[in-house]
Structure 1
């Protein structure tokens, strides 16, 4: 029986990280980073550098980013990023070997930076943090307007293995409806420049559920993307969130017809990509088998969601086994600008300011979420080795409910979602949040 038959809404929340930043709070003890990283594994860290600038802010976007960078803001931001990198690397110490196994530049739009600024960004990752960008998977996000030849040349030369471009729609009218002004001709030109770099993995992001979108126009965008033979494709349902451009216009989130439209378009997109030989990695991610270099992986299964993550920049998170931490979080543009300005003026980056403690129960939930929302599922034996019990023992009510809805099955030592369970990932994920995290998120006041 599917979720609709149970009256369950399929699009509650995109669980790309747990716990969500809205559950973070100021840390009264402001723990020193050196203390936080003492005893943590440092031989396979992930590094994420956040650039909070875009040329425009799409109507659906609630990411931590601002439009433009007046004056010397990008220079001041990179100055602060370098100060933070020096402080963090010092906190890691040299008692044990420090090695980075993966790196990513995200945002915002990292390619908002000039070619020279991108060189400096790579230098910060390599010379200040010690990451060998040419020896590890490096993923970088870009946009049609900023994927210029000079910027892409820098990224390719510095070792980028994956370029992810947010296209969203190849139909100009749909792009405008999503408050993302762009022309298809410019999108195609940007894709051509990306392919010319020889970077092995191209990812294209598309969105379904846009006002005016139909099965025919959705198929048109899917085929336009497939013409570039991308190694990865992400299909995102449109969300209308508070304080975003579309959120201020109209909150369509309670529209059951819109839910049905998005489910219908999701299934169409999924089936179309599967018929073209792609494999489904998660609800959103599809990968072409045999494509060059399948790593680094995308946001749904990227190593940045595991412990041992170091984030640099005012919108980045860092993860130790016992604490997730970052800086203040906002969606409203004025508040974001204030946080960015405060970040650029920060001199002392030696302490964690905002975050959430992770106890054993939250670690179990996190592991379950990370694994279950991937098509390959959760290895019960690996879970038992790590936590001493089984998922069924730790989460009997939740897993029984999922199985009763036809979302979950177990075989061969794997606990995995059915195709219908994957379709309802954005309903299933939030049901696994702990009561404490739910309460903290509910108490958060959007800003």
Structure 2
């Protein structure tokens, strides 16, 4: 029996396909050498994951733990270096291996001290061979950890983009999202980031928080715009299982009133940013029209290889997406981190999802269509030897019938404005039955 596509405008934020809840232990534990030996390694993306935060926000279901006992961050970096050595050995030392982008995420990478951040950069450069000063390097931070000494390290090591999770400039809304912070501290952090002269500042904001109104939402947007950020990400609030908000507001099914509130706030925020000279790149991402180019707007796993280091990171080859075990609950996350730190042999993939040719086509369609620029049908045909309508005609017809797909027979498939607004429903509609079934069967932990 297959699992039916979900309904409602807010189902999944599809930042990668398939979701890690579709991953399973790999019985054969393939060697990394065998996985990468036939891959194109000329423009890889490198991602280093730091699974620590000073606090855990109420909406967060990312792979992260609160704080770190003495010595754990150092031991984690030791394991990261062992993994980097094994991965680089598997990639080989030929001239064909090159990294085109790099990113540090989490968790909160700036949870690390300035000295530890320097070591993190050394691992990326000296162990993996990524030239951080020659490629776009994006780093995530929180207001409390965006200190002058950490920012100085990041700027000196080549960071081109700093993403700051603010979520709201209204203190009462931050508290409602279980994110203890004061606006004064946020503003101070933004001042330090601008003083560090990192070329691109991104500010994350959330809509749909309890007590939020259109007036307070626009107030937060204007507070962010006062810093003239090169990018803004607008995220709808989700209440996910095993998160802090889930304990206070269990998700018992669709809430049409909340759906309508989030859609209304999204539209007002989108229109406000467009009027202020920002260009919409996806449902969530807006870039200032005069911002410096940074390469790809969002990492797109439909075309590029990804090397992920760290116990919460994913790696992508053309035939396999792989990672380590996944959890949301604090006890389970701590166990996975402890296991990672104790690992000495990183030469094999342990958990993943195999990508057959049909899933590769689906991934390309899905990840392209969720960008405002859409999908170039000629590029798709050059890669797969067919047209999207040949492979996914029924799904595309359904989106067009809904009014979410503009000109389904054109040379470029794009979502309409309303289709972009419903991206978190469009993406899950394109999941394969096999992926939906695997996600539904996942046992939360």
Question: Shorter-chain-normalised TM-score: which range?
Answer: over 0.9
When residues 111 and 310 of structure 1 are mapped into structure 2, their CA distance, relative to the original with a 3 A threshold, is: same
Contact 2:300–2:367 at 8 Å: present in 1 too? no
Q: How does 1:76-155 map to 2 (within 5 A)?
A: 76-155=75-154
Task: Give SS of 2:389's match.
Answer: helix
CA–CA distance in structure 2, aligned partners of residues 361 and 367 of structure 1:
10
When residues 63 and 316 of structure 1 are mapped into structure 2, their CA distance, relative to the original with a 3 A threshold, is: same
Contact 1:139–1:296 at 8 Å: present in 2 too? no
- The answer for the alignment partner of 1:393 in structure 2 is 390
Deviation at 1:97, TM superposition (A): 2.1
CA–CA distance in structure 2, aligned partners of residues 303 and 163 of structure 1:
19
> Are residues 1:263 and 2:260 paired?
no
TM-score by length of 1: 0.96
CA–CA distance in structure 1, aligned partners of residues 403 and 131 of structure 2:
45
CA–CA distance in structure 2, aligned partners of residues 55 and 306 of structure 1:
35
CA–CA distance in structure 2, aligned partners of residues 304 and 399 of structure 1:
21
- The answer for the alignment partner of 2:236 in structure 1 is 237
Contact 2:63–2:333 at 8 Å: present in 1 too? yes
- The answer for the alignment partner of 1:408 in structure 2 is 405
Deviation at 1:370, TM superposition (A): 1.0
- The answer for the alignment partner of 1:289 in structure 2 is 289
- The answer for the alignment partner of 1:40 in structure 2 is 39
Contact 2:125–2:131 at 8 Å: present in 1 too? yes
> Are residues 1:273 and 2:237 paired?
no
Structure 1 alignment gaps of length 5 or more: 1-6
Contact 1:409–1:415 at 8 Å: present in 2 too? yes
CA–CA distance in structure 1, aligned partners of residues 304 and 377 of structure 2:
20
- The answer for the alignment partner of 2:366 in structure 1 is 369
Contact 1:162–1:296 at 8 Å: present in 2 too? no
- The answer for the alignment partner of 1:425 in structure 2 is 423
Deviation at 1:296, TM superposition (A): 4.8
> Are residues 1:22 and 2:24 paired?
no
Deviation at 1:329, TM superposition (A): 0.2
**Number of equivalent positions:** 438
Contact 1:296–1:302 at 8 Å: present in 2 too? no
Q: Once the two structures are superposed, what CA deviation does each residue of 1:324-379 show, in whole Å capped at 9, x if it has no partner?
A: 00000000000000000000000000000000100100000100011100001110
TM-score by length of 2: 0.97
Deviation at 1:96, TM superposition (A): 4.7
Contact 1:330–1:446 at 8 Å: present in 2 too? yes
> Are residues 1:346 and 2:343 paired?
yes
Deviation at 1:150, TM superposition (A): 0.1
Q: How does 1:171-210 map to 2 (within 5 A)?
A: 171-210=170-209
Structure 2 alignment gaps of length 5 or more: 1-5
CA–CA distance in structure 2, aligned partners of residues 347 and 324 of structure 1:
22
CA–CA distance in structure 1, aligned partners of residues 336 and 405 of structure 2:
42
> Are residues 1:216 and 2:210 paired?
no
Contact 2:302–2:364 at 8 Å: present in 1 too? no
Task: Give SS of 2:360's match.
Answer: helix
> Are residues 1:312 and 2:309 paired?
yes
Following TM superposition, where does structure 1 have runs of at least 4 consecutive aligned residues deviating by more than 4 angstroms?
303-306
CA–CA distance in structure 2, aligned partners of residues 380 and 352 of structure 1:
33
CA–CA distance in structure 2, aligned partners of residues 264 and 379 of structure 1:
30
CA–CA distance in structure 1, aligned partners of residues 157 and 214 of structure 2:
40
Task: Give SS of 1:233's match.
Answer: strand
Task: Give SS of 1:145's match.
Answer: helix
When residues 11 and 243 of structure 1 are mapped into structure 2, their CA distance, relative to the original with a 3 A threshold, is: same
Deviation at 1:304, TM superposition (A): 5.9
Give the aligned CA root-mean-square deviation in angstroms: 1.2
User: Greater CA deviation, 59-68 or 402-411?
Assistant: 402-411
Deviation at 1:385, TM superposition (A): 0.8
